[in-house]
Amino acid sequence: MGTITTTDGTEIFYKDWGSGQPIVFSHGWPLSSDDWDTQMLFFLGHGYRVVAADRRGHGRSTQTGDGHDMDHYADDLAAVVEHLDLHDAVHVGHSTGGGEVVHYIARHGESRVAKAVLISAVPPIMVQTEANPGGLPKAVFDGLQEQVATNRSAFYRDLPSGPFYGFNRDGVEPVEAIIANWWRQGMMGGAKAHYDGIVAFSQTDFTDDLRAITVPTLVMHGDDDQIVPYADSGPLSAALLQNGTLKTYAGFPHGMPTTQAATINADLLEFIRS
């Protein structure tokens, strides 16, 4: 584990374990690299080098007051990759991290990239626009910002207790330890980063980024995702990619890398080895 300092003075915390082909994990909002613990240990055990960083303003990285946009996210990721001199890397992004991955590849090129994976990811664009009529109304994201600004701790209990992991569905038993770990990760980060990050993940249009990517890319999405609705995300992203494959999971929630880790890890391993 270590830190790097970016060109604007932001310290980015990262984990770097093992050796072999690197797999680089980009986490979702408002979490940290800890959200990938299950995947990192799994792939470490299968002989891979696993790397994950806390996004600026999240986890153990600097709680800077600015730079909470996809350009900075992508550049910070590039700084970690270059610092560690990673090549032939597989980039895996969940939710907001999926946007970070596609923007990084499109912005910094594919010379260090072998493959990419987008899990429950926000591309092509979440917010409703004339060009994206199936998106969520901007008022939805305005409401998220209001909750972050006024009652963040309670909000960070409610979200994982309900739609994030599908614990609000009939017959699904909430797991308190998962909910508490989500809250822990969220409250480690900065309120300003989380507030601004809502705009970054909801309003960034990744359409051109997706079109620019040529490496094999697996798009994994649950059709019961209540955070990033399936119909306006996974299938559209896969169609825009030059070498994309869509894998749909019946009934899986947004947080499926945690609640359905065995399935997700096995499918990731198959894709990376293919």
**Which residues are known catalytic residues?**
95, 225, 254
CB-CB contact of 145 with 196 (8 Å): no
Q: How many whole angstroms separate alpha carbon 173 and alpha carbon 167?
A: 6
Do the beta carbons of residue 222 and residue 253 sit within 8 Å?
yes
- Residue 92, judged by CB atoms within 10 A of its CB (0-12, 13-18, 19+), counts as buried
Q: Please check whether residue 242 is in contact with residue 211, taking contact to mean a CB–CB distance below 8 angstroms.
A: yes
Compute φ and ψ for 238, nearest 5 degrees: -60, -35
Of 13, 103, 8, 2, the residue nearest 54 (C-alpha): 13
Q: How many Å apart are CA 59 and CA 68, to the nearest integer?
A: 14
Q: What length is written for the chain? A: 274
**How far, rounded to the nearest angstrom, does the alpha carbon of residue 242 sit from its chain's CA centroid?**
21
DSSP 227-263: SS-GGGSHHHHHHHSTTEEEEEETT--TTHHHHTHHH
